[in-house]
Structure 1
Amino acid sequence: MITPVLLTHSFYSVMFKNLANIGTDGCDSPQTRRGYERRLALLLSANDLFLDRGYDAVSLDDIVNHAGGSKASIYKYFGNKEGLFVAICDYHRELFFKDICVPFDPEVSELREYLVNTLYNFYRHIIDPKHTAFMRLIMEQTQRSPDLAQYLHEKGPKFIQMTIANTLSRAVELGKLNCPNPLYSAMFYFGILRNTEWRIMMGLDAQLTDQEMIEYINYCVDRFLDGHQKV
């Protein structure tokens, strides 16, 4: 049984170091150190306030009072409050891909190990209380904005599924699997954690201990691979 390798750096500590690098279409990018620091402060303040109070309860004045500066900087770097929210969503997504759903390299890792580690790192991600709070915030906002929902789905869940689908396609090319529909199989693969994800989102505990989750993931990945063996 493979014991997953937990990624060592904190999701949020890295997020706070890099938030100012995220661009917003149609808005200015900082050209000076002061501008860079101002943009970062606005992003961090908006992130904290949205999580603490909820999106609707936070005004641009609240963000400016928390971060310092003026609303002109928000308009310059993000366009508006919605632009701030999308910029934060973009960074959460980018960091998720970097740490959890990395491209498969058959010269670096074995397929089974890759699939086990991806699920376990995903599990560690979804049980983080800060992640749960942010996902609830996203669910609330996407109910009101079909365009935002479509954007985040295309850039998030769909992209993640395609990463695994491409991994399975690569394994087929290498003669390791029989997988006639990699996208369907990728959707099935992520379903392994669906119960845990919904339990957390609904405020319940994860039900399994970390050791039990490792055993569960190993078991499910073995069954997943058994179903894709070449006849």
Structure 2
Amino acid sequence: MAISLDQMVISNCDFPLTRRGHERRLALLLSANTLFLERGYDAVSLDDIVNHAGGSKTSIYKYFGSKEGLFIAICDYRRAMFFQDICPAFEQSKNDLRDYLIQNLNNFYIHLLDPENAAFIRLIVERTQATPEFALYIHEQGPKHIQATIAKVLENAHNQKILYCPKPLFSAQIYIGIIRHLEWKTIMGIEIKKTDAEINEYFEYSVDRFLDGHQRV
């Protein structure tokens, strides 16, 4: 089950135990999310967030530790929402591998088309240039997590002799590459001049070629 924005927990910070505390924390998260998207991370101060949300900076320090902690909380929430429909658990007895791989790509693409999602990804990329530790954190929680999830599905298929996939992590990286150019076009604001049907046809073709390359001989 997906967690809500006001349930995100920051290490070494207090978590509200009262309804009023939850409301105050949520207001800060929502205000910061709005302001970061409107102005960018560096252009937003704690005073700006407090003026927008109400309350005081004391609450930010109490619940998030710092402006960066607040930004990470928003990133964690948005990442959870972004990936909850991408790479769900695969059950061999219920799911068709081809359909599963195609659907994951379509889900990823639909999420990318949301202007707010694309804008926030751009914001994250900008922020990672200034903070290497944050860049590593985002990679571990995002791209690397997806690769590991797909790799596990492929490893299981290999073990069950459905596919020949002796290096599942390598293969997972190839699979994710199917959508990479669409992802970067979206992030850079380049119009994708293809219909949904054409995109789905591309995904189907690419997954079929991907599976052809992993057939047992």
Q: Aligned equivalents of 1:161 and 1:206: distance in 2?
A: 25
1:3-27 deviation digits (Å, cap 9, x = unpaired): xxxxxxxxxxxx9x81011100110
SS of the residue corresponding to residue 55 of structure 1 reads: coil
Superposed displacement of residue 40, structure 1: 0.6
Superposed displacement of residue 96, structure 1: 2.5
* 1:24/1:78 contact within 8 Å kept: yes
Q: Aligned equivalents of 1:218 and 1:99: distance in 2?
A: 19
Matched, 1:172 2:158: yes
In the other structure, the counterpart of 1:87 is 73
| 2:94 alignment partner, one of 108, 114, 118 | 108
Superposed displacement of residue 106, structure 1: 1.3
Moved over 2 A (4+): none
Matches within 5 A, 1:73-222: 73-222=59-208
SS of the residue corresponding to residue 215 of structure 2 reads: coil
* 1:127/1:206 contact within 8 Å kept: no
Superposed displacement of residue 107, structure 1: 2.4
Matches within 5 A, 1:14-93: 18-93=4-79
Q: Aligned equivalents of 2:8 and 2:161: distance in 1?
A: 39
1:159-195 deviation digits (Å, cap 9, x = unpaired): 1100000010111122100001100110000111111
Superposed displacement of residue 108, structure 1: 2.5
Question: Amino acid of the residue matched to residue 216 of structure 1?
Answer: Y
Question: Amino acid of the residue matched to residue 86 of structure 1?
Answer: I
| 5+ residue gaps, structure 2 | none
Q: Aligned equivalents of 1:108 and 1:87: distance in 2?
A: 35
SS of the residue corresponding to residue 61 of structure 2 reads: helix
Q: Aligned equivalents of 1:107 and 1:95: distance in 2?
A: 27
* 1:20/1:40 contact within 8 Å kept: yes
Question: Amino acid of the residue matched to residue 37 of structure 2?
Answer: L
| 5+ residue gaps, structure 1 | 1-14
Q: Aligned equivalents of 1:95 and 1:203: distance in 2?
A: 22
Q: Aligned equivalents of 1:97 and 1:124: distance in 2?
A: 11
Superposed displacement of residue 223, structure 1: 0.5
Q: Aligned equivalents of 1:151 and 1:85: distance in 2?
A: 13
Aligned CA RMSD, in angstroms, stands at: 1.4
Q: TM-score, normalised by structure 1?
A: 0.91
Identify the structure with bigger relative contact order (alpha carbons < 8 Å, sequence gap 6+). Answer: 1
Q: Aligned equivalents of 2:210 and 2:52: distance in 1?
A: 49
